[in-house]
Structure formats: structure tokens, C-alpha cells
Chain A
């Protein structure tokens, strides 16, 4: 029996001041575990966590839910099984009553897509997803709830309606549903099924959790950007939907970390108050509302595997998409999704190698820097973990031998800092000039006004305070 948990938020570090100031707003905190994992280069147990961070997460207010973001259940490529041990330990440590994951895919055959992409909504696709849900449930040992995803693509003639597909997967896999109302609303705004119609297909008593968020218009599409303020229209529709959910356990607001700065914590607090108001509207007794069932009888034009390979290739520069069906090639969302993936990749880079990225942008200008990134993206597939993505970019930069003064030194410095953060081992980086004026200027977003002092300098990056664990057993034992 899953307990009723209440209203909460998807955690990121930028929310800490609000969580500390107004803990009553957060009866639940949802943790996306892989966002705090470090992927090491060692093969057997590649995922590591900082115990200090895990302890901080344990100390956050409210009950905890675990929302996985790296083992989606909508595709034919199995999720990386190496993550299951840590995922299971996270669920146990945080006493999460179930695990939620996305009914999407993020792996084509041979590479990571850099984005959650929509599954093939056919009979074959239902079977693929149900099998993946069962594998995940067996590996983790708690019930699974599947999250309704975003699709910027146009519907194909042989597809099942969006809501019907989710309902069929949930029935076949016997799992719960995480109804992301903002995702469904995003799809509806972009021409897919309406929210009301979507919900008509769902087995409403299997909806355990609802997600809400803000979005934005860009290039003719409404985006699931998690950018702050929820739309009034979404709130109105959600009130009607939530009143039909008799078994709702949690309702979570999502904001992307990079938008906290622009939206502000006051905005987040207002959204939480809206969610508390919506929560009161939830159904308290089961309602006899039969779900619609529709099977598409149209012959399947594309297998799930081909669908995944085709759309992954279309939205990524490095892959050959010439064999994709014309209908998919002409979908107007292709350049939009491609750009969203690029923004994610570039954001990983400026997040982990901020000084190298700034040096490149300030020396080359943003347009040529963009060209550099496009060349990199055309040659290298996205990586799921940011550290691996930027490592790949560093190797690319060295391979092209770009003549940017001090770039090699700054890149070495940042790469060493990252590696030390990932293994706690001290590293020394040599310079033939005093690096501090340059590093300080780049940290301020400028190039230095004065020439650096020449000489032999060495910065030793210490692993001070860096402890990593490949298992949570030690923390679990400490709690008993």
C-alpha cells in the first residue's frame, strides 16, 4: 500500500534557501538520483556519490520520492544495468514507496540521444515498454510508475492515441502512472491529443503521482522547459483532472536549475502554494469512470527499433538520417529538438568547463564558438553524463590544435579539477605564466587587462573534502 505523501518539488541545489525558509511548503521532496551521481572510468561499479550530498538530501524536509532520469522504459535498448545497484540503494535509503521513470527512450542503437524522445506508440511499442518496466521493477524491487512523456513530433497514422498508449502499457506492465500534466499540456499545445481526451483513456486509479511545471514558446513550439510560472490554462485543466484521481499520492512541481535564477524563489513559492490548492481538489473516493480502450488496427509502418534509430539520427548531427522515412524527415519539430539537444550539450560544457568556454567565446566571438561546437556535435554523439560529455569535448579541442593563447593551460586546469572532484586524487597543473590573473578574469567573464607575469607556476588541485562512495551501505548503516 502506497502512503499518501502530498505536495512537493523536484530537488536541485538552487532551491535550498526556500526549502530551509519554508519547509512546510514541501511535505515531499522528489530526488532525481542520477543528477547527483558521478560516473567514473572504472568498469565494475562506475557510479559514485558524495556522502555529504546524500546526507544533505536525507536532511531535506518531508518524505522523499525517487524519480529516475537515466533508465527510461520506452525503448528497445535496455538501460545501463550498472546503475541498478545504486538506484536500488537510493530507493531503500530514502524509503521511497515506488520508483518513477519515463515512458520515453534516450538510447538509439549505439549512442545516447541527448534527450528523452517519444516511444513508438503501436502494439509492438506497448510490448517493448511493458518488458522494460518489468525489468526495471525486478531490478529495483519496488513498484514502478511510468511518466507520460513529451512528443514534439506529429502523430503518424498507425499510432495509438497518446492516452491509449500509456493506458495499455500500464495495463500490460501492471504499474502505476506518473501523469505529467505539463507534458500532456505541452503535447496538446503542439497539436497532439488534448489533456481532457488523454485522461479519458487512463485507468484513473493507477495514477499515483502528478507533475506540474511552467513552459515557454520558442520557434513556434510550446516547450516543456520547466521554466517557472505555470500557465493559468494548465492550472484550470489540472483542477478538473485532479478531481478525478482517487488514488493520487503525490503532486510535484518541477523547475529546471538554470531557470531558478531567472524565475526567482518567490515565483517557486507561489507555484507551490498553487499546488497545495490543487491538492485539496483531489478525489477522495473511487469513481466509476471506465477508461476508453482503443487498439490501432493499422499495419505498423516502422518497427520500434527503426523508429528509435530514425528519430535519434534526425535530431543529432553526427548520425546519418538519410534513410529515415520522408514523413519523419519533414517533421517541423526536427530542427527545434536538435536545437534543444544542442543547448543541453552546450550548457553541460559551460557548467563544467566555464573558464575554457569563456576563453574560447571571448577570443573567437560567440558565432565562431558556435561553429566550433557544431563541428564537435557533428563528430561526437551526446553523452548521458556531463563529465563524460566535456571530457569528449576536451579531447576534440586538443585534436584540432586550435591556436588560442592559454587555452591548453586553462583546459588542463579545468580537466584536472574535474577529475580530482571525481576521484579525490590531488593533481598538479603546470603553467609558464602566472595563471591567477587569467583565471580570475575568466571567472569574472573578461580577459585580463594586463599581461601575466612569465615564470614557472604550478597549481595543485587538492581533493580537500572530496569523498566518494560506490555503495550507500555505509550511510545506511549509520542511520540504524
Chain B
């Protein structure tokens, strides 16, 4: 992904794309029937729609190494340093506190927004530079040589 710097000023590159294929731009095979089904009222609803579960399985299936690939890609993709934030498990269910804490970290590092080239990346289970407690408090802050 792009780090947020000002555009190069080389002029705008225009791309034209039918809206019908926007969600599936690789295969260019959007079906109007399927799109209509997505836009409309869900079918008879008294059971279970597994689409979200299928999507999670697709993205995070360890056998497909999707998650590992994402982690590696994330390290190399950003030109700017990535600040990792460790979020306490219960805190992650209090979104307001997580967002407030992440903003606070951004202020502490001098990176007020992604536009400065710093990406904040959430992780839960590993030691990282910052730790947000279950109450939303930042209780650890240290720098390493990597940053």
C-alpha cells in the first residue's frame, strides 16, 4: 500500500471500470443477478447466513498461509515504519477506548495521522511497542532500534 505523501504531480491517471465488476476486479465477471441479490433484501430469514464465516475462513485459513503472507507483506509493504500496538483482549471489545488510545500513541510518536508516513498496526497476542490495557490505558511505551 502507498505511504501517504503528496501526489507526484505527473497528471491524473484515469481508469474506467464498469461498476458491476468493481467488487470483483480480478475476474471481470460481475453477474447482475448476483449483484442484485447482494443489494436487495436477504432471502427468507430465520436461519443462518454463512457468508461471513466463509469470508473469514478464506482470509485466515492457516493451511493457505494467508495470514502469514499478510504479516510478511505488511513488514515490507510500508515505506514508513510501522508502529505496532498490542491491545488487551477485553479492551478490543471497547472500541472507543482502542481508538482513543491509538490516537494518543500517534500523538506520542509525533505521527498525528497516517499522512506522516506512520502506520498503526493492531495485534493482540505479541509483545509490541505499546500496550493498551483492558481499561484502555496505555501502560507501556518504549522505543526499539527498529523504529
**A422-480 at interface with B (beta carbon < 8 Å):** 422, 427, 430, 432-436, 438-440, 443-466
Q: Please indicate the chain B residues that have their CB under 8 angstroms from the CB of A422 in the complex.
A: 39
Per-position contact with B for A248-273: 1 when CB-CB < 8 Å, else 0?
00000010111101100000000000
Per-position contact with B for A403-418: 1 when CB-CB < 8 Å, else 0?
1011000000110111
Chain B residue, CB-CB nearest to A383: B41
Task: Determine, out of A30-38, A131-139, A162-170, A275-283, the stretch whose residues face the partner at the interface.
Answer: A30-38
User: Chain A's nearest CB lies how many Å from the CB of B102?
Assistant: 6
Distance, CA A386 to CA B79, complexed state (A)? 37
User: Chain A's nearest CB lies how many Å from the CB of B98?
Assistant: 7
User: Chain A's nearest CB lies how many Å from the CB of B87?
Assistant: 7
Are B31 and A13 in contact, CB atoms less than 8 angstroms apart?
A: yes
Distance, CA A278 to CA B108, complexed state (A)? 70
Task: Determine, out of A197-205, A224-232, A291-299, A305-313, the stretch whose residues face the partner at the interface.
Answer: A224-232
Q: Which listed residue, A53, A216, A372, touches B36 by the CB 8 Å rule? A: A53
Q: A350-B52, A434-B13, A454-B8 are in contact. Are A53 and B33 (CB under 8 A)?
A: yes
User: Chain B's nearest CB lies how many Å from the CB of A427?
Assistant: 8
B35 adjacent to chain A (CB < 8 Å): yes
Are A464 and B13 in contact, CB atoms less than 8 angstroms apart?
A: no
Chain A residue, CB-CB nearest to B11: A456
Distance, CA A215 to CA B47, complexed state (A)? 8
Distance, CA A106 to CA B56, complexed state (A)? 28
Are B40 and A50 in contact, CB atoms less than 8 angstroms apart?
A: no
Per-position contact with A for B16-41: 1 when CB-CB < 8 Å, else 0?
11111011111100011111111111
B59 adjacent to chain A (CB < 8 Å): yes
Q: Please indicate the chain B residues that have their CB under 8 angstroms from the CB of A456 in the complex.
A: 7-13
Q: A447-B1, A451-B77, A461-B17 are in contact. Are A385 and B48 (CB under 8 A)?
A: no
Q: Which listed residue, B37, B47, B59, touches A35 by the CB 8 Å rule? A: B37
B120 adjacent to chain A (CB < 8 Å): yes
Q: Please indicate the chain A residues that have their CB under 8 angstroms from the CB of B40 in the complex.
A: 34-39, 385-387
Are B93 and A455 in contact, CB atoms less than 8 angstroms apart?
A: no
Q: A414-B22, A445-B59, A451-B3 are in contact. Are A227 and B48 (CB under 8 A)?
A: yes
B92 adjacent to chain A (CB < 8 Å): yes
Q: B interface, how many residues as a size bin?
A: 35 or more
A355 adjacent to chain B (CB < 8 Å): yes
Distance, CA A50 to CA B34, complexed state (A)? 12
Are A371 and B47 in contact, CB atoms less than 8 angstroms apart?
A: no
Are A116 and B7 in contact, CB atoms less than 8 angstroms apart?
A: no
A363 adjacent to chain B (CB < 8 Å): yes
Q: Which listed residue, B2, B34, B41, touches A384 by the CB 8 Å rule? A: B41
Are A448 and B77 in contact, CB atoms less than 8 angstroms apart?
A: yes
B142 adjacent to chain A (CB < 8 Å): no
Are B39 and A224 in contact, CB atoms less than 8 angstroms apart?
A: no
Per-position contact with A for B98-142: 1 when CB-CB < 8 Å, else 0?
110011001000000110000111111000000000000000000
Q: Please indicate the chain B residues that have their CB under 8 angstroms from the CB of A358 in the complex.
A: 55, 59
User: Chain A's nearest CB lies how many Å from the CB of B86?
Assistant: 11
Are A405 and B4 in contact, CB atoms less than 8 angstroms apart?
A: yes
Chain B residue, CB-CB nearest to A468: B36
User: Chain A's nearest CB lies how many Å from the CB of B5?
Assistant: 6
**B74-108 at interface with A (beta carbon < 8 Å):** 74, 76-79, 87, 89, 92-96, 98-99, 102-103, 106
Are A459 and B17 in contact, CB atoms less than 8 angstroms apart?
A: yes
Q: Please indicate the chain B residues that have their CB under 8 angstroms from the CB of A13 in the complex.
A: 31, 33-34, 37
Are B43 and A354 in contact, CB atoms less than 8 angstroms apart?
A: no
Chain B residue, CB-CB nearest to A375: B95
User: Chain A's nearest CB lies how many Å from the CB of B104?
Assistant: 12
Q: Please indicate the chain A residues that have their CB under 8 angstroms from the CB of B92 in the complex.
A: 367-368, 371
A76 adjacent to chain B (CB < 8 Å): no
Q: Which listed residue, A364, A417, A460, A463, touches B23 by the CB 8 Å rule? A: A417
Are B20 and A446 in contact, CB atoms less than 8 angstroms apart?
A: no
Task: Give how many A-B residue pairs fall within 8 Å (CB-CB).
Answer: 308
Q: Please indicate the chain B residues that have their CB under 8 angstroms from the CB of A401 in the complex.
A: 99
User: Chain B's nearest CB lies how many Å from the CB of A38?
Assistant: 5
Distance, CA A451 to CA B117, complexed state (A)? 13
Are B52 and A346 in contact, CB atoms less than 8 angstroms apart?
A: yes
Distance, CA A444 to CA B25, complexed state (A)? 9
B46 adjacent to chain A (CB < 8 Å): yes
Distance, CA A448 to CA B16, complexed state (A)? 21
Distance, CA A200 to CA B121, complexed state (A)? 61
Are A366 and B19 in contact, CB atoms less than 8 angstroms apart?
A: no
User: Chain B's nearest CB lies how many Å from the CB of A423?
Assistant: 10
Are B93 and A374 in contact, CB atoms less than 8 angstroms apart?
A: yes
Chain A residue, CB-CB nearest to B48: A225
Are A414 and B36 in contact, CB atoms less than 8 angstroms apart?
A: no
Chain B residue, CB-CB nearest to A444: B26
Are A449 and B73 in contact, CB atoms less than 8 angstroms apart?
A: yes
B63 adjacent to chain A (CB < 8 Å): no
User: Chain B's nearest CB lies how many Å from the CB of A455?
Assistant: 5
Q: A257-B37, A440-B26 are in contact. Are A116 and B59 (CB under 8 A)?
A: no
Are A464 and B45 in contact, CB atoms less than 8 angstroms apart?
A: no
A362 adjacent to chain B (CB < 8 Å): yes
Residues on B facing A (Cβ under 8 Å): 1-20, 22-27, 31-56, 58-60, 66, 69-70, 73-74, 76-79, 87, 89, 92-96, 98-99, 102-103, 106, 113-114, 119-124
Other A-B pairs beyond A35-B41, A227-B47, A459-B17, 20, CB < 8 Å? A13-B34, A34-B40, A35-B43, A36-B37, A37-B36, A50-B36, A183-B46, A256-B48, A352-B23, A358-B55, A358-B59, A385-B40, A401-B99, A403-B106, A405-B4, A406-B1, A449-B76, A455-B8, A456-B7, A466-B20
7 contacts between A and B (CB under 8 A): A34-B41, A39-B40, A347-B42, A371-B95, A405-B78, A446-B70, A446-B73
